[in-house]
Structure 1
Amino acid sequence: MSDNHVEQTGFFSLFTTLPNLSRQESHTSAAAPPTQTTLDVKSDQSDDEKEQPDERGRYVDEGDGVEYLNGEPIISTGSDVSRFVVDVRDDGDDPMTIRSLFLGTIWAGLAAALYQIYVFKPVQMHVSSVFLLLIVYTSGQLWATLLPRQSWVEGTRWERYGWIIQLINPGKFTIKEHVVSTLIASTAAYGSASVSNFAVQRLYYDTNVGPLTAVFATFSTAMFGYGLCGILRPLTVYPSEMVYWGNLPTVSIFQSLHFDTSTNSRRLKLFWIVFGAIFAYEVVPAYMFPLLGGFSVFCLASQGASTRTRNDFTNIFGGAQANEGLGILSLCFDWQYIGSAFLSRPIQQQANTWVGYAFCYVAILGIYYSNTWASKSFPMLSTSIFSSNGSIYQQSAVFDQHFNLNETALDEVGLPSLTGSNAWNNLVANLAIGGLIAHVVLFWRQPAIDAIRQARAGDQPDPHFQAMKRYKEAPTWWYLILMGLAFLAGLVVCIKGETTLPWWSFIVALLLGSFITPFSTILYARMGTGISTNQLFKMVAGAANPGRPVGNLYFSMWSHDVVSQSIGLAGDLKMGQYLKVPPRVMFITQIWGALLGAVINYVVMVSIVTAQREILLSPTGSNVWSGQVVQSLNSQAVTWSMAKQVYGLSGAYYMIPFALVIGIFPTTIQYFLCKRWKTIGGVKTDSILLPIIFMYSGYLYAGVNSTTTTIIATGVTSQLWLRRYHPVWYRKYNYILGGAMDGGAQVMIFLLSFAVFGASGKERPFPKWAGNPARGRVDYCNGNGALG
Structure 2
Amino acid sequence: MGDKYEYRALKTGYGDEKSTADPVELREDAEDEVENSRIEAVRLVVPVTDDPSLISVTFRFWVISLFFSVIGSVINQYYYFRTTTGSFSIFFVNLASYGLGKSMARVLPMKRVSLGFYAISLNPGPFNVKEHALIGIAVSTAAFSAYAIDILTAMDLFLHHRIDPFGALVLIITTQCLGYGMAGVLRKYLVYPAEMVWWPNLVQVVFYNAMHNTDEFRTKKMVRGWSYMKFFWVLCGVLFVYEFIPQFLAPIFIYFDWLCWINPFNMDFWAIFSSMTGGGVFSLSFDWTSIGGSTLYLPLAAQLCNYGGMVLMFWIIMPIMWLTNTLGTKTFGRPLTSHLYYSNGTDFNILEYLKADYSLNEDMYNAGPPAVMTPMYALGFFCSFIALAGCVSHVICFNGADLWRSWKMAIGDMDEDIHTKMMKVYPEMPQLWYAIFYLLMVALSIMVCEVYGLQLTWWGLIVACLMGWVLTLPICAMTAITGFGPGLNVITELICGYMLPGKPIANMTFKCYGYMAMYQCMSLLSDLKLGHYMKIPPRSMFVAQLWGAIIGGVFNYFTMIVIINSRRSYLDGTEQDPNGLWTGVSADTFWGSALIYGALGPKRMFSSQGNYGFVFYGLVIGAVIPVMQWGLSKRFPHVAWSKFNISIIAGGMTAFPNGYVVGVLPSIIVCVVFQFYLFRYHKGWWSKYTFILSAALDTGAAFTGLFIFLFLGGGISPKLSVSVPSWWANYYTPEGDNAPYLMVDRCGAAGGKWTGGTL
Q: Shorter-chain TM-score: which interval?
A: 0.7 to 0.9
SS at match of 1:771: helix
Distance 2:710 2:456 in 1: 36
One-letter identity of the residue aligned with 1:687: K
Distance 1:182 1:95 in 2: 11
Give ranges in structure 2 of 5+ residues lacking alignment.
1-6, 13-21, 733-737, 752-759
Q: What pairs with 1:32-71 in structure 2 (closer than 5 Å)?
A: 36-38=25-27, 43-44=32-33
Instruction: Provide closer, same or farther for how the CA distance between residues 142 and 271 of structure 1 changes in structure 2, counting only shifts above 3 A.
Output: farther
Q: Deviations over 1:269-292 (max 9, x none)?
A: 333333333333333222221221
Instruction: Provide closer, same or farther for how the CA distance between residues 746 and 90 of structure 1 changes in structure 2, counting only shifts above 3 A.
Output: same
1:482 and 2:468 matched: no
Distance 2:23 2:514 in 1: 51
Match of 1:376 among 330, 346, 354: 330
Instruction: Provide closer, same or farther for how the CA distance between residues 285 and 645 of structure 1 changes in structure 2, counting only shifts above 3 A.
Output: same
One-letter identity of the residue aligned with 2:725: P
Distance 1:147 1:722 in 2: 45
Instruction: Provide closer, same or farther for how the CA distance between residues 447 and 726 of structure 1 changes in structure 2, counting only shifts above 3 A.
Output: closer
8 Å CA contact 2:343–2:371 kept in 1: the answer is yes
Match of 2:627 among 664, 668, 692: 668
Please, what TM-score do these two structures have when normalized by structure 1?
Answer: 0.84
Match of 1:782 among 744, 748, 756: 748
Please, what TM-score do these two structures have when normalized by structure 2?
Answer: 0.87
8 Å CA contact 2:186–2:473 kept in 1: the answer is yes
Q: How much has 1:422 moved relative to structure 2?
A: 1.5
Match of 1:773 among 728, 731, 734: 731
One-letter identity of the residue aligned with 1:707: G
1:329 and 2:329 matched: no
Instruction: Provide closer, same or farther for how the CA distance between residues 277 and 485 of structure 1 changes in structure 2, counting only shifts above 3 A.
Output: same
Q: Which residue of 1 aligns with 2:614?
A: 655
Distance 1:649 1:41 in 2: 69
Q: Deviations over 1:494-515 (max 9, x none)?
A: 1101201111111111111111
One-letter identity of the residue aligned with 1:562: A
SS at match of 1:499: coil
8 Å CA contact 1:318–1:706 kept in 2: the answer is no
Distance 1:171 1:91 in 2: 14
8 Å CA contact 2:250–2:729 kept in 1: the answer is yes
One-letter identity of the residue aligned with 1:141: K
One-letter identity of the residue aligned with 2:293: S
Of 642-651 and 615-624, more deviation after overlay is shown by 615-624
Instruction: Provide closer, same or farther for how the CA distance between residues 508 and 702 of structure 1 changes in structure 2, counting only shifts above 3 A.
Output: closer
Distance 1:277 1:440 in 2: 41
8 Å CA contact 1:235–1:451 kept in 2: the answer is yes
- The CA RMSD measured in Å over matched residues stands at 3.0
1:350 and 2:303 matched: yes
1:623 and 2:623 matched: no
Q: What pairs with 1:43-122 in structure 2 (closer than 5 Å)?
A: 43-44=32-33, 78=39, 80=40, 85-92=45-52, 93-122=54-83
Match of 1:133 among 80, 87, 94: 94
Q: How much has 1:677 moved relative to structure 2?
A: 1.0
One-letter identity of the residue aligned with 1:37: L
Match of 2:660 among 704, 709, 718: 704
Of 742-751 and 528-537, more deviation after overlay is shown by 742-751
8 Å CA contact 1:82–1:464 kept in 2: the answer is no
8 Å CA contact 2:570–2:584 kept in 1: the answer is yes
SS at match of 2:27: strand
Instruction: Provide closer, same or farther for how the CA distance between residues 590 and 125 of structure 1 changes in structure 2, counting only shifts above 3 A.
Output: same
Distance 1:192 1:316 in 2: 33
8 Å CA contact 2:26–2:49 kept in 1: the answer is no
Distance 1:35 1:673 in 2: 46
Instruction: Provide closer, same or farther for how the CA distance between residues 372 and 269 of structure 1 changes in structure 2, counting only shifts above 3 A.
Output: same
Instruction: Provide closer, same or farther for how the CA distance between residues 672 and 179 of structure 1 changes in structure 2, counting only shifts above 3 A.
Output: same
One-letter identity of the residue aligned with 1:370: T
SS at match of 1:457: coil
SS at match of 2:516: helix
SS at match of 2:583: coil
Distance 1:135 1:549 in 2: 43
Q: Which residue of 2 aligns with 1:200?
A: 154
Q: Which residue of 2 aligns with 1:472?
A: 427
8 Å CA contact 1:534–1:556 kept in 2: the answer is yes
Q: Which residue of 1 aligns with 2:597?
A: 640
Distance 2:607 2:29 in 1: 62
Q: How much has 1:458 moved relative to structure 2?
A: 6.8
Q: Which residue of 2 aligns with 1:543?
A: 498
Q: Which residue of 2 aligns with 1:69?
A: none
8 Å CA contact 2:26–2:48 kept in 1: the answer is no
Q: Which residue of 2 aligns with 1:51?
A: none
Q: Which residue of 2 aligns with 1:410?
A: 365
Distance 1:708 1:611 in 2: 32
Q: How much has 1:756 moved relative to structure 2?
A: 5.3
SS at match of 1:386: strand
Q: How much has 1:216 moved relative to structure 2?
A: 1.7
Distance 1:162 1:703 in 2: 49
One-letter identity of the residue aligned with 1:380: P
One-letter identity of the residue aligned with 1:226: Y
Q: How much has 1:114 moved relative to structure 2?
A: 2.5
Q: What pairs with 1:564-603 in structure 2 (closer than 5 Å)?
A: 564-603=519-558
Distance 1:753 1:256 in 2: 29
SS at match of 1:102: helix
SS at match of 2:436: helix
8 Å CA contact 2:268–2:323 kept in 1: the answer is no
One-letter identity of the residue aligned with 1:187: T
Q: Which residue of 2 aligns with 1:285?
A: 246
Instruction: Provide closer, same or farther for how the CA distance between residues 607 and 108 of structure 1 changes in structure 2, counting only shifts above 3 A.
Output: same
Distance 1:390 1:686 in 2: 43
One-letter identity of the residue aligned with 1:3: A
8 Å CA contact 1:129–1:739 kept in 2: the answer is no
Match of 1:735 among 684, 691, 695: 691
8 Å CA contact 2:183–2:522 kept in 1: the answer is yes
Q: What pairs with 1:362-441 in structure 2 (closer than 5 Å)?
A: 362-378=316-332, 379-441=334-396
Instruction: Provide closer, same or farther for how the CA distance between residues 485 and 40 of structure 1 changes in structure 2, counting only shifts above 3 A.
Output: farther
8 Å CA contact 1:149–1:171 kept in 2: the answer is no
Distance 1:602 1:35 in 2: 44
SS at match of 2:9: coil
Distance 1:267 1:220 in 2: 41
SS at match of 2:729: coil
Instruction: Provide closer, same or farther for how the CA distance between residues 163 and 562 of structure 1 changes in structure 2, counting only shifts above 3 A.
Output: closer
Q: How much has 1:327 moved relative to structure 2?
A: 1.6
The count of residues paired between Structure 1 and Structure 2 equals: 709
1:233 and 2:187 matched: yes
Instruction: Provide closer, same or farther for how the CA distance between residues 141 and 723 of structure 1 changes in structure 2, counting only shifts above 3 A.
Output: farther
Q: Which residue of 2 aligns with 1:694?
A: 650
Distance 1:726 1:163 in 2: 53
1:316 and 2:272 matched: yes
One-letter identity of the residue aligned with 1:120: F
Distance 2:11 2:325 in 1: 65
